[in-house]
Amino acid sequence: MNRPMTRPLLDIALEGPIATLTMNRPGKRNAMCDGLLAEIEAFFATPPKGLRAIILTGTEGHFCSGLDLSEHVQRDAEGTMRHSRNWHRVMDMVQFSGVPVVSALFGAVIGGGLELATATHVRVAEPSTRFQLPEGRRGIFVGGGATVRVGRILGADRMCEMMLTGRSYSAEEGLRLGLAHYLVGEGEALAEARRLAERIAENAQLSNFMMIQALSRIDDMPRQDGLFAESLCAAVSQTSLDAEEGLRAFLEKRSPKFR
């Protein structure tokens, strides 16, 4: 019997050293279900060889509206904790895969969508973008990493107010607060994300890897530990073949050609 073809929940397009990942649940405003989370996990677990940057975005006017509550199942405390820890694991894969991730944001960036966005390294927002953590208004609590990732951007005080009131931040407010790094015109986020991804892809892979792996961890460390970790990163990167090429290119007044 022929069965209807179903599209993947995560569309993957490869163009040179850059992959574009498009969450594909348009009727759900790209709400996060276990299937979509599993496809994100599968990509970051084994990214294509030669990949130097990733673009993450949504479809039909929305980035991601958070956990799909229609698929929510009642779990006991242990099941809920395991589900939350799985989200943490996948969000860590996005943040620490070693490949820079640029997100193109528009429409809903809500709940788990905001947790996913803040796991990316560069965030580009359109005017339609709305940032929100509505869990408190639904009698639940964030579970995908917002207390760490969003909390470090906003601070605990502002995040507490955001969750208590359910307030929504506009793209302009999100830019001012650090939820977005760039604000572009309507319909321009993907093109700007592509431009930034191409620029990032030109960097030495080791330098990009160091920035992704080290900076947020150093932020966790006491001052002296952080400074020591910085020295280790400097020692590894500045004695690499890429560093030799970067210095040579500077002296020869040309663009470097990193491995």
The answer to whether residues 102 and 121 touch, using CB atoms and an 8 Å cutoff, is yes
Question: For residue 241, with 0-12 CB atoms within 10 Å meaning exposed, 13-18 middle and 19 or more buried, which class applies?
Answer: exposed
pLDDT of residue 195: 98
Give the rounded distance of the alpha carbon of 39 from its chain centre. 15
What is the C-alpha to C-alpha distance for residues 151 and 134, in angstroms, rounded to an integer?
A: 15
Model pTM above 0.85: yes
CB crowding 5-35: b at 16 or more within 10 Å, else e: eeeebbeeeeeebbbbbbbbbeebbbbbbee
SS3 assignment, position 140:
coil
Q: What are the CA-CA distances from residue 18 to residues 84, 186, 208, 231, 253 (Å)?
A: 30, 23, 14, 30, 27
pLDDT of residue 2: 44
Given 15, 41, 78, 135, the catalytic residue: 135
Write out pLDDT tens, residues 103-138: 999 999 999 999 999 999 999 999 999 999 998 888
Angle between the 241-251 and 223-238 helix axes, to the nearest 10 degrees? Answer: 70
172 is catalytic: no
115 is catalytic: yes
**Among candidates 36, 45, 41, 28, which has minimal Cα distance to 10?**
36
Our CA dihedral for 50, 218, 86, 17, rounded to 10 degrees, sits at -10
CATH 1.10.12.10 residue spans of the chain: 205-251
Given 39, 41, 60, 115, the catalytic residue: 115
The answer to whether residues 121 and 101 touch, using CB atoms and an 8 Å cutoff, is yes
CATH T-level fold of 10-201: 2-enoyl-CoA Hydratase; Chain A, domain 1 (3.90.226)
CATH 3.90.226.10 residue spans of the chain: 10-201
Architecture in CATH of 205-251: Orthogonal Bundle (1.10)
Write out pLDDT tens, residues 136-175: 888 889 999 999 999 999 999 999 999 999 999 999 999 9
Write out pLDDT tens, residues 187-243: 999 999 999 999 999 999 999 999 999 999 999 999 999 999 999 999 999 898 887
